[in-house]
Chain A
Amino acid sequence: MKILPLATEIVIFTGIVLVLIFLIFSKKALYFYLIAVFSHIIGISLELYLLKKQIFTDFYFLYFSQETRIFALVVIFASLFSLLIFWSYTKKEVLNKEIPFLLLNSLLSMILMVRSNNLFFTFLALEYLSFSIYIMIASFKRIGFPYESALKYFVLGSFASLLMLFGIFLLYLDRGGLSYSTLGEGGINSLVILALLFLFTGFAFKLAFVPFHIWTPDVFAGTPFPFISFISTVPKVSVFGFLFIISKKLNLNFLNIVIISILTMFLGNLSALLEKNIKKIFAFSSIAHSGYILLIFISRSRTVFDALVFYLITYSIMQMGALLCLQQLDRENLTLDSLKEKGSLLLFFFSVIFLLSLTGIPPTAGFYAKFYIFSIPLLEGYNFAVFLAFLNSVISAYYYLRMSVAIFQVKEKDKPIKKFPLLIISVLFFLVILLGVYPSFINILLK
């Protein structure tokens, strides 16, 4: 049973192969979605089983520990919801039939990335992920300007990969190996600092930290809603997971994370204030959320992991929920003014809850998530940084609530919502409230 720990990866890989085989016989998207959903569900159950059995080992370049298993679980969960959102999208002509295939590929790459035990393998997984995303962006038809978005993302992403590769090379020069155990040994000299600087810059591109955030609004504006809810949540979970694992081996504190984080928050939120395009507002708000999460990396205490996982789960849920609600308006070029045209009371109710959760208003999960992650820098004595971070949620309250009141004013009240999206929204809504009023739920689930 040497391959038992690998079960999840094998299931997802089988799913990819199955989709490819089915492509020969049928062109119906339904089958692809079904296969993808099933492989997600089997993957989740296997992962939970392996977590409960505590099967933690090394396997060549992969490393199975409790932490990597939980990260993988969160990634699969988020990816499953993202897949369902793609499935529920009404404008089918925009999406290619290969979306489930690409999503499965990106999922596999992300799981490999958080599980990786070797920096070079991580790099390969990241490239694999980026390629799935490049293809995905370029495959959207008749909407916005997907080719421009794809090209922008591709050029900047390649540049980020280049920087990362250079960083990895410098690290290799110093340590003589790239496995994480080798990286953890030895002190930090100027070469390592330079290497980490390059490496971190590469990841800052991927996670849109200031000043490497410029690509986000353009890419978001040119792509349909389901893709936005995918790219702003799922890859973020995996890349932050990787960042957490590497920060345990190598101390990133010298990078002045606090300053980057505060700058990211402020720039994200202040730019969102000026925007009228809903997609761009979400782009900037996702930048700000990256800033919030980055703040906890200044601590190396045990609670960082719990807080990070809680925040990533909550963030994925509320971001997807809010975007799914807006997706129901059947308009791709939404602005604050055009939000007022159609809607329903139910939709308003749901979207307000999700937007309030993104703001961080109790009793939604967003509040507790913020409370949790901001308590960590406070424990380290960064009182003022925490004050600024909370101040940022006030700034964000303005644009999030401006969106809610725009939906609040709708003239046509009786726009019906389709059953399938409504079901997903209800599940996400239930999770937001549940995690808000009973946050210990996550701990019970994972232990």
Chain B
Amino acid sequence: MHFIVFFFLPLVFVFTIFLIPSKFKKLIFYISLFFLLFHFIYFLYALFSVNIPFIYSKPWIRVFNINFSFYLDKISVLLVILNLVLFISGIIFSLTEIEEKVKEFLIWTFLLEFGINGIFMAGDIFLFFISWEFMLIPMFFIIYGWGYEKREYAAFKFLLYTMAGSVLLIVGILILIFYFKNTQGYFSFNIRLLSKLYIPPSLSGTLFFLFTIPFFIKVPLFPFHTWLPDAHTQAPSFGSVILAGILLKTGVYGIIRFTIPFFPQFVKVMSNAIIMLSLFNIIYGSLMAWVQKDLKRLIAYSSIGHMGFIILGIFVFQKEAFLGSVFQVFNHGITTGALFMIAGAIYKRTGTREIRKLGGLAGKIPVLAFIFGFSILSSIGLPGLNNFAGEFLILYGVFKKSVVLSMISVLGIILTAVYFLSAYRKTIFGKAKDFEVKDLKLNEVLSFIPLILLMLYLGLKPVTFLKNFKNTSNDNISTLNMIEDKGNEDFTARH
């Protein structure tokens, strides 16, 4: 019951904010911050009052036998927590960045949170799709309304690209549902029920692409990545944090939740191709980041490289690599979130994001420079910080599968160090440009604190995190192992 209240709370928040007159800008901010903290605490409370996996279901649309249902396993919980943490940090940070149309901004923020939570909590593929589509609109308006100079182009590119992906997904869902109806005699949108369905090879090929490309667009994997640099660069800091921290992860979540359990056989067939693509992603993203002139664009391309690691870890089908990928989903969210906030802070102070025009900031804004350095080291994968553990696990799994693959993918980490450290040298050190800059304000420092603490804690003691997920990865690996016997077993007997 608590999770249902948790799910609908953002709508209450939206309604409350709607009633406050728009001239009380700071008040609206503080109230919504309070709401977010309350939401977070309420989630933890709800978490401890139920067993995980949490299952809830109620009839919704009878014509198609659609249920309003939740299914929260550990991965869902992890992503919801990441979502809330980034929202809290992002809103604290935005307190000084967003000055116009504050009320609208916060309304869209809560609607965005509502949609994202729906994606991770859905137990019914219909609810998942609704949230998946719904989420685009607040994000579109956040980019459009509060973004930088080329925001219109970026916002529409982001929206149309992802909506085109959703078209494939909805057609895939409909084909799958009707196949289920034809074989089982009744409609079902239940994710767990659908994942037990045997899909013949003739159909699973088409369905695999319909179910994978939308997620690859979101991740993004190489040929579908072009929306990302524009959207990330033009979005306001808060938008970039949520885009990189959460929206990319919805793609990974979709792959873990749908693609692999639904089409295990076809996934195995296609895995080598996807591994190649993700390797290409790592190298391509890193090389592109190296040549970027715009700081935010650089971080955006670094995201492409890091997401390549996550996809690689999932598709090598090794227990350790899978675990590493799940861990990396969380780590990348925190680290990239922090980096985008730093880029936003630098832009706000200097009025430019171009690396060439920046320089010698270390003396003027030491706190920002320290946090920037810390986050970069985390992103590179310095031992003792969070990314190291995740990337190490992925590389370990890849190494078990193939030495050559792991050698190529290590190249990505080296390249990360190359481009991030050189960018850091050019912006923070180097010849000082005559900027009149002030250091971080209190709210900005506060917004970085949870992220930095998490980076440190997860880096020093990853075991506390990883032991929770041992079983989850086992489940998914066993899904892969039972590929062979899936066709032989009678569906109804198992159910």
Interface residues of A (CB under 8 A from B): 303, 306, 345, 356, 361-363, 367-368, 371-372, 374-375, 378-379, 383, 386-387, 390-391, 393-394, 397-398, 401, 405, 408, 438-440, 443
Q: Is the CB of A390 within 8 A of B160?
A: no
Query: In the assembled complex, how far is the CB of residue B170 from the closest CB belonging to chain A, in whole angstroms?
Result: 6
Query: In the assembled complex, how far is the CB of residue B22 from the closest CB belonging to chain A, in whole angstroms?
Result: 7
Q: Which listed segment binds A: B138-146, B364-372, B391-399?
A: B138-146
User: Given A386-B174, A440-B61, are A394 and B164 neighbors across the interface (CB < 8 Å)?
Assistant: yes
Q: Provide the bound-state CA to CA distance between A63 and B338, in Å.
A: 69
Can you list 16 A-B pairs with a CB-CB distance of less than 8 A?
A: A345-B103, A363-B130, A371-B170, A387-B171, A390-B167, A390-B171, A391-B164, A393-B167, A394-B167, A405-B141, A405-B152, A438-B61, A439-B61, A440-B61, A440-B62, A443-B63
Contacts of A386 in B (CB 8 A): 171, 174
Q: Is the CB of B160 within 8 A of A397?
A: yes
Contacts of A394 in B (CB 8 A): 160, 163-164, 166-167
Contact code string B134-160 (vs A, CB < 8 Å = 1, else 0): 101100110011000000100110011
Residue among B144, B166, B178 making CB contact with A408, cutoff 8 Å: B144
Q: Provide the bound-state CA to CA distance between A372 and B62, in Å.
A: 12
- Secondary structure of the A side of the interface? helix
Q: Provide the bound-state CA to CA distance between A379 and B175, in Å.
A: 8
User: Given A361-B137, A362-B129, are A397 and B163 neighbors across the interface (CB < 8 Å)?
Assistant: yes
Known: A362-B131, A394-B163. 5 other contacts (CB 8 A): A383-B175, A401-B156, A438-B61, A439-B61, A440-B62
Contacts of A383 in B (CB 8 A): 171, 175
Interface residues of B (CB under 8 A from A): 22, 60-64, 103-104, 129-131, 133-134, 136-137, 140-141, 144-145, 152, 155-156, 159-160, 163-164, 166-168, 170-171, 174-175, 178
* Most chain A Cβ neighbours within 10 Å, of B103, B130, B131: B130
* Most chain A Cβ neighbours within 10 Å, of B64, B134, B156, B170: B170
Residue among B137, B164, B174 making CB contact with A356, cutoff 8 Å: B137
Contacts of A408 in B (CB 8 A): 141, 144-145
Contacts of B133 in A (CB 8 A): 361-362, 367
Contacts of A367 in B (CB 8 A): 130, 133
Contacts of B163 in A (CB 8 A): 393-394, 397
User: Given A367-B130, A394-B163, A401-B159, are A440 and B171 neighbors across the interface (CB < 8 Å)?
Assistant: no
Q: Provide the bound-state CA to CA distance between A374 and B172, in Å.
A: 13
Q: Provide the bound-state CA to CA distance between A368 and B171, in Å.
A: 14
Q: Provide the bound-state CA to CA distance between A70 and B494, in Å.
A: 44
* Most chain A Cβ neighbours within 10 Å, of B134, B152, B155, B174: B174
Q: Is the CB of A362 within 8 A of B130?
A: yes
Contacts of B131 in A (CB 8 A): 362
Q: Provide the bound-state CA to CA distance between A306 and B61, in Å.
A: 14
* Most chain B Cβ neighbours within 10 Å, of A371, A374, A375, A443: A371
Q: Is the CB of B145 within 8 A of A378?
A: no
Residue of A nearest to B182 (CB): A379
Residue of B nearest to A386 (CB): B171
Query: In the assembled complex, how far is the CB of residue B200 from the closest CB belonging to chain A, in whole angstroms?
Result: 16
Query: In the assembled complex, how far is the CB of residue A233 from the closest CB belonging to chain B, in whole angstroms?
Result: 24
List 7 A-B pairs, minimum CB-CB distance, nearest first. A362-B130, A390-B167, A394-B163, A387-B171, A378-B174, A362-B133, A394-B164
Query: In the assembled complex, how far is the CB of residue A274 from the closest CB belonging to chain B, in whole angstroms?
Result: 16
Q: Is the CB of A379 within 8 A of B178?
A: yes
Contacts of B137 in A (CB 8 A): 356, 361
Contacts of A391 in B (CB 8 A): 164, 167
A-B residue pair count with CB separations less than 8 angstroms:
76
Q: Provide the bound-state CA to CA distance between A356 and B63, in Å.
A: 24
Contacts of A374 in B (CB 8 A): 174
Q: Is the CB of B22 within 8 A of A345?
A: yes
Contacts of A440 in B (CB 8 A): 60-63
Q: Provide the bound-state CA to CA distance between A440 and B22, in Å.
A: 37
Residue of B nearest to A368 (CB): B61
Residue among B156, B166, B175 making CB contact with A378, cutoff 8 Å: B175
Q: Provide the bound-state CA to CA distance between A334 and B155, in Å.
A: 24
Contacts of A361 in B (CB 8 A): 133-134, 136-137
Query: In the assembled complex, how far is the CB of residue B183 from the closest CB belonging to chain A, in whole angstroms?
Result: 14
Q: Provide the bound-state CA to CA distance between A250 and B276, in Å.
A: 55
Q: Is the CB of B170 within 8 A of A390?
A: yes
Contacts of B22 in A (CB 8 A): 345
Query: In the assembled complex, how far is the CB of residue A30 from the closest CB belonging to chain B, in whole angstroms?
Result: 35
Q: Provide the bound-state CA to CA distance between A393 and B174, in Å.
A: 16
Q: Provide the bound-state CA to CA distance between A439 and B68, in Å.
A: 13
Contacts of B64 in A (CB 8 A): 375
Contacts of B166 in A (CB 8 A): 394
Contacts of B156 in A (CB 8 A): 398, 401
Q: Is the CB of B134 within 8 A of A363?
A: yes
Query: In the assembled complex, how far is the CB of residue B391 from the closest CB belonging to chain A, in whole angstroms?
Result: 36
Query: In the assembled complex, how far is the CB of residue B156 from the closest CB belonging to chain A, in whole angstroms?
Result: 7
Residue of A nearest to B131 (CB): A362
Residue of B nearest to A402 (CB): B156
Q: Is the CB of A306 within 8 A of B63?
A: yes
Query: In the assembled complex, how far is the CB of residue A432 from the closest CB belonging to chain B, in whole angstroms?
Result: 14
Q: Provide the bound-state CA to CA distance between A327 and B168, in Å.
A: 36
Query: In the assembled complex, how far is the CB of residue A439 from the closest CB belonging to chain B, in whole angstroms?
Result: 6
Q: Provide the bound-state CA to CA distance between A429 and B237, in Å.
A: 33
Contacts of A356 in B (CB 8 A): 137
Q: Is the CB of B160 within 8 A of A398?
A: yes
Q: Provide the bound-state CA to CA distance between A96 and B178, in Å.
A: 52
Q: Provide the bound-state CA to CA distance between A398 and B145, in Å.
A: 16
Q: Provide the bound-state CA to CA distance between A209 and B155, in Å.
A: 32
Q: Is the CB of A397 within 8 A of B159?
A: yes
Q: Provide the bound-state CA to CA distance between A390 and B168, in Å.
A: 9
User: Given A390-B171, A394-B164, A394-B167, are A405 and B144 neighbors across the interface (CB < 8 Å)?
Assistant: yes
Q: Provide the bound-state CA to CA distance between A374 and B160, in Å.
A: 20
Query: In the assembled complex, how far is the CB of residue B266 from the closest CB belonging to chain A, in whole angstroms?
Result: 18
Q: Is the CB of B141 within 8 A of A378?
A: no
Contacts of B152 in A (CB 8 A): 405
Q: Is the CB of A345 within 8 A of B160?
A: no
User: Given A345-B104, A401-B156, are A375 and B174 neighbors across the interface (CB < 8 Å)?
Assistant: yes
Contacts of B140 in A (CB 8 A): 401
Q: Provide the bound-state CA to CA distance between A363 and B8, in Å.
A: 14
Contacts of B160 in A (CB 8 A): 394, 397-398
Residue of A nearest to B162 (CB): A394
Contacts of A363 in B (CB 8 A): 130, 134
Q: Provide the bound-state CA to CA distance between A378 and B175, in Å.
A: 7
Contacts of B63 in A (CB 8 A): 303, 306, 372, 439-440, 443
Query: In the assembled complex, how far is the CB of residue A209 from the closest CB belonging to chain B, in whole angstroms?
Result: 23
Q: Provide the bound-state CA to CA distance between A67 and B167, in Å.
A: 32
Residue of A nearest to B62 (CB): A440
Query: In the assembled complex, how far is the CB of residue A388 from the closest CB belonging to chain B, in whole angstroms?
Result: 9
Residue of A nearest to B155 (CB): A405
Query: In the assembled complex, how far is the CB of residue B80 from the closest CB belonging to chain A, in whole angstroms?
Result: 19
* Most chain B Cβ neighbours within 10 Å, of A372, A374, A391, A401: A401
Contacts of A393 in B (CB 8 A): 163, 167
Query: In the assembled complex, how far is the CB of residue B102 from the closest CB belonging to chain A, in whole angstroms?
Result: 12
Query: In the assembled complex, how far is the CB of residue A359 from the closest CB belonging to chain B, in whole angstroms?
Result: 9
Contacts of B164 in A (CB 8 A): 391, 394
Residue among B130, B136, B167 making CB contact with A387, cutoff 8 Å: B167
Q: Provide the bound-state CA to CA distance between A317 and B166, in Å.
A: 25
Q: Provide the bound-state CA to CA distance between A397 and B163, in Å.
A: 9
Q: Is the CB of B134 within 8 A of A362?
A: yes
Contacts of A368 in B (CB 8 A): 61
Query: In the assembled complex, how far is the CB of residue B139 from the closest CB belonging to chain A, in whole angstroms?
Result: 12
Contacts of A345 in B (CB 8 A): 22, 103-104
Contacts of B129 in A (CB 8 A): 362
Query: In the assembled complex, how far is the CB of residue B202 from the closest CB belonging to chain A, in whole angstroms?
Result: 13
Q: Provide the bound-state CA to CA distance between A368 and B136, in Å.
A: 17
Query: In the assembled complex, how far is the CB of residue B191 from the closest CB belonging to chain A, in whole angstroms?
Result: 17
Q: Provide the bound-state CA to CA distance between A172 and B141, in Å.
A: 58
* Most chain B Cβ neighbours within 10 Å, of A378, A386, A387, A393: A387
Residue of B nearest to A303 (CB): B63
